[in-house]
Structure 1
């Protein structure tokens, strides 16, 4: 499967398919496709899979694009100004992906819902459920803003605001840590909790968050008053 990433601050992903190749994506990110491409919307995993994806905050259905002939192509876009990150999973292993960050993947990639039973993660702001990608294919993640990444050595830790986490290696240990100091918690403007990620593994971050974007735009929204 060949691909090309177009643009700078609002990127699109063009995937070129040959006969027999299939790619699947979240719903709502399709820009265009060649007329010969077969598209099918379905719910892998049945009703249980639909419920797990709905609970994770992702679309309950997935779109599958199949090429019955050579020289077909599909074009996807990000939901926010940002960048598209290709991840060859054979190089990274299982990747845990923050909800809405998953864009698309080859059909050979295993994609599902990752349960995290630590209630502190809910308080940390990213919910109890993540998605994951696994296998030997190519997956794509949508990063809001610029792509930031760290390689953490064994035992090395980093404290991260939960809203900035895009994806991380499953080998990383993920725990919630309360913000230090009552003044910081109440008036710091960065929430009550931080996430401590401990290596070994790689971490990818959004430089921009939906919450921050909404906060900045709020003062410019017309409230209906003259």
Structure 2
């Protein structure tokens, strides 16, 4: 399998597969592909080969689709491509029992067949964050390779044992799964959502964390004033 990540602001993930090689992704996310791929949609995909409907249901709780699609290359091989949904970057990560990751829901793009995509953490934080949906992280485990899309620019930190970092939940893009994560109410910070307090994620080391400069909620808020008023009767 050959991986190419092309582009800058809105990157493209292009996977070139040899005969019989396969990857798993959410079905509606494919951008283009060469002819001849066998496509099979099932709840069993994205479970690392370990489950069916119940594993798929757990994946839904983690923000993914119940059914994922497996793309298997034909005898002559083939190419399948996925486009980023937000300005940002696409990262390839290697996964094994010693390297598991938590990613913000919506970041998962594709993976090899032995990677498991499941719910990692789900936290309600009130109506002010993510439209009341709270914050959801998916867990990537098993053995193989996964590709994730992260929004905006990335900043990475290595936290040592005993170190911690307070992070707005929307900017916490990805972190190693063994790192303890808590949510704290920080008093004295006035904001338009919570009055005189703010919910922040507190991530504890040791481990590596990826922070993203953009969030979908802030992007939506930035463009909302320029959208047509649905309540007006403009003809």
TM-score range, shorter chain: 0.7 to 0.9
- Identify if the C-alpha distance between structure 1 residues 212 and 191 changes in structure 2 by more than 3 Å, giving closer, same or farther: farther
**Greater strand share, 1 or 2?**
2
* 1:58-97 CA distance string (max 9 Å, x none): 2221111111324311101111111101112249601011
Q: Which runs of 5+ in 2 are unaligned?
A: 45-50
Per the alignment, residue 202 of structure 1 pairs with 208
Per the TM alignment, residue 170 of structure 1 is displaced from its structure 2 partner at its CA by: 1.0
Per the TM alignment, residue 198 of structure 1 is displaced from its structure 2 partner at its CA by: 0.7
What CA distance in whole angstroms lies between the structure 2 residues aligned with 1:193 and 1:111?
A: 27
Per the alignment, residue 136 of structure 1 pairs with 143
* Cα pair 2:62 2:121 within 8 Å, conserved: no
What CA distance in whole angstroms lies between the structure 1 residues aligned with 2:209 and 2:154?
A: 10
Per the TM alignment, residue 98 of structure 1 is displaced from its structure 2 partner at its CA by: 1.2
Per the alignment, residue 47 of structure 2 pairs with none
**Greater helix share, 1 or 2?**
1
What CA distance in whole angstroms lies between the structure 2 residues aligned with 1:58 and 1:17?
A: 24
- Identify if the C-alpha distance between structure 1 residues 55 and 113 changes in structure 2 by more than 3 Å, giving closer, same or farther: closer
Residue 55 of structure 2 is aligned to residue 49 of structure 1 = yes
Alignment partner of 2:124: what SS? helix
* Cα pair 1:32 1:75 within 8 Å, conserved: yes
Per the TM alignment, residue 40 of structure 1 is displaced from its structure 2 partner at its CA by: 1.2
- Identify if the C-alpha distance between structure 1 residues 187 and 56 changes in structure 2 by more than 3 Å, giving closer, same or farther: closer
Per the TM alignment, residue 174 of structure 1 is displaced from its structure 2 partner at its CA by: 0.3
What CA distance in whole angstroms lies between the structure 2 residues aligned with 1:123 and 1:102?
A: 22
Per the TM alignment, residue 3 of structure 1 is displaced from its structure 2 partner at its CA by: 0.4
Alignment partner of 1:195: what SS? strand
Aligned pair count reads 221
Per the alignment, residue 125 of structure 2 pairs with 123
Identify the match of residue 111 of structure 1 among 117, 137, 148.
Answer: 117
Alignment partner of 1:80: what SS? coil
Per the TM alignment, residue 180 of structure 1 is displaced from its structure 2 partner at its CA by: 2.3
- Identify if the C-alpha distance between structure 1 residues 128 and 207 changes in structure 2 by more than 3 Å, giving closer, same or farther: closer
Identify the match of residue 100 of structure 1 among 99, 106, 114.
Answer: 106
- Identify if the C-alpha distance between structure 1 residues 14 and 92 changes in structure 2 by more than 3 Å, giving closer, same or farther: farther
Per the alignment, residue 152 of structure 1 pairs with 159
Per the alignment, residue 33 of structure 1 pairs with 33
Worse-matched range after superposition: 1-10 or 50-59: 50-59
- Identify if the C-alpha distance between structure 1 residues 71 and 187 changes in structure 2 by more than 3 Å, giving closer, same or farther: closer
What CA distance in whole angstroms lies between the structure 2 residues aligned with 1:191 and 1:92?
A: 37
What CA distance in whole angstroms lies between the structure 2 residues aligned with 1:217 and 1:53?
A: 30
Identify the match of residue 90 of structure 2 among 84, 90, 93.
Answer: 84
Q: Which runs of 5+ in 1 are unaligned?
A: none
* 1:111-153 CA distance string (max 9 Å, x none): 222256xxxx322757475321123311111101122221111
